[in-house]
Amino acid sequence: MSDPMRIRAQAQGDKAVVRVLMSHEMETGLRKDSAGKNVPAWFIQEVNASLNGKPVFNAFWGTAISKNPFVQFTIKGAKAGDKIVVDWVDNRGDKRSDEATVT
Amino acid sequence: MLGVLVALLGVVPVQAQKSAADGIAEYRKMLEDGNPAELFEARGEALWKQKRGPKGASLEACDLGKGAGVVKGAFVELPRYFADTGRVQDLESRLVSCMQALQGFDAAAIANTPFGRGEQDNVTALATYVAASSKSLRFNLPQSHAEERRMYEIGKRVFYFRGGPYDFSCASCHGEDGKRIRLQDLPNLTKNPGDGVGFAAWPAYRVSNGQMWGMQLRLNDCYRQQRFPFPGFGSEATVALGVFMGVNAKGAESIAPSIKR
């Protein structure tokens, strides 16, 4: 089971800035281990975010994204008290979903 | 008009002189917002409260120097003397002592585990959590116990001790102002190097390799770069260096866990 994400969402006027920090190895598949064998690729493939259940953000990621990725985006019309849910799926099918409230 | 022109001319060369260090500082500033050290901090906090080990206990009764279970403010007063173990300990060696005493882990086995693996990885996460609880507090290491003063003197000797194939000492790189390795500014650790520099910046997340480093690993890597034999985890030499740097940094603000290139 992967570690939880850190999600912060701050209302700024009629928008909310969402910052998400994810815990993931993000292996490219190009690295070799000490025995000289390829370390298999292992990365987050899809990221979704929703505001009060309505999808607002969708991204397809690949191996170019760094380890422990950080993503920031702005949602128009979000206000304090709204619920934000972020989830990701990696290429092994592992999932993680965390939520935060806009402050 | 002329005044404006002169003012403009005065500004331009300053911008052109932006040093590599300024560029790195800017880069670090941009990364600070999403410092993955927070992930280790969160994991460390969970580990602190979780009942683990052969004895199935949490670390909440661990005494980091300010009484059992007190985490806030403990980091800026470490290393210090602990009566129960009868020696001066730094944060990481103290955590391992607690893991042995409270949870029943084998301290020697943890000390022999490579950094970043197994329980050693957990020690780093715990250290990140404890350090983060003292963020923006100022270093104030105790020197009242004779053993603490002795360790400071040992640390000073270790710091200036030259040896190895390069005939290096810690002081070769960290004994003067304005030195650097490639583009990295090196703090002068013989005095207070300033807020959030040197001893006050670790544990830190290293972006280039995606690893969280505690002070023990930082010192281990310093010795690797000097081509010295690796010091043992939590060994007297490393703790003494911690006392030397920590006492010198008295009054410096801790920014740990920080983010490094």
Instruction: Tell me the angle at which helices B146-160 and B236-248 cross, rounded to the nearest 10 degrees.
Output: 100
A74 within a domain of the structure (yes/no): yes
Buried b (16+ CB within 10 A) or exposed e, A72-84: eeebeebeeebeb
Asked if A72's CB is within 8 angstroms of B36's CB, the reply is: no
- CA B249 to CA B243: how far, in whole Å? 10
Give the confidence band of B16 by pLDDT, cuts at 50, 70, 90: low
From the list A6, A66, A72, which residue is nearest B38 (CB)?
A: A6
A77 lies in which domain range? 6-101
B10 within a domain of the structure (yes/no): no
Token pair for A33: 């281990």
pLDDT tens, position by position, A22-45: 999 999 999 998 899 999 999 999
Asked if A4's CB is within 8 angstroms of B42's CB, the reply is: yes
A61 within a domain of the structure (yes/no): yes
Can you list the pairs that B221-225 forms with residues at least 24 positions away whose Cβ atoms lie under 8 Å? B222/B170
The CATH number of the domain holding residue B247 is 1.10.760.10
Asked if B42's CB is within 8 angstroms of A70's CB, the reply is: no
Residues in A touching B39 (Cβ below 8 Å) = 3, 6, 21, 23, 68
**Which residues in chain A show pLDDT less than 70?**
1
**What is the nearest CA distance from A68 to chain B, expressed in angstroms?**
6
Asked if B43's CB is within 8 angstroms of A67's CB, the reply is: no
To the nearest whole number, what is the mean pLDDT of chain B? 88
Q: Which of A1, A2, A5, A6 would best serve as a mutation to test chain B binding (most B beta carbons within 10 A)?
A: A6
A103 touches chain B (CB under 8 A): no
**In this predicted complex, what is the ipTM?**
0.76
Q: How many domains does chain B have?
A: 1
**What is the nearest CA distance from B33 to chain A, expressed in angstroms?**
9
The CATH number of the domain holding residue A18 is 2.60.40.10
Q: What is the pLDDT of residue B17?
A: 65
A96 within a domain of the structure (yes/no): yes
The catalytic residues of B are 222
Q: What is the pLDDT of residue A1?
A: 54
Please name the residue that has the structure tokens 């002795």: B150
pLDDT tens, position by position, B233-259: 999 999 999 999 999 999 999 998 998
Token pair for B99: 């893991």
A21 touches chain B (CB under 8 A): yes
From the list A21, A66, A72, which residue is nearest B38 (CB)?
A: A21
pLDDT tens, position by position, B77-126: 999 999 999 999 999 999 999 999 999 999 999 999 988 888 999 999 99
Q: Write the DSSP assignment of B13-32 as a string of letters.
A: HHHHT--HHHHHHHHHHHHH
Q: How many domains does chain A have?
A: 1
CA distances from A15 to A51, A55, B20, B54, B108 (A): 12, 16, 36, 50, 53
B130 within a domain of the structure (yes/no): yes
Token pair for A49: 């975010």
B173 lies in which domain range? 21-260
Question: Is the pLDDT confidence value at B179 over 90?
Answer: no
A85 within a domain of the structure (yes/no): yes
- CA A45 to CA A91: how far, in whole Å? 6
Residues in B touching A3 (Cβ below 8 Å) = 39, 42-43
B38 touches chain A (CB under 8 A): yes
Please name the residue that has the structure tokens 């944060």: B91
Q: What is the pLDDT of residue B2?
A: 46
- CA B70 to CA B78: how far, in whole Å? 13
B115 within a domain of the structure (yes/no): yes
A1 within a domain of the structure (yes/no): no
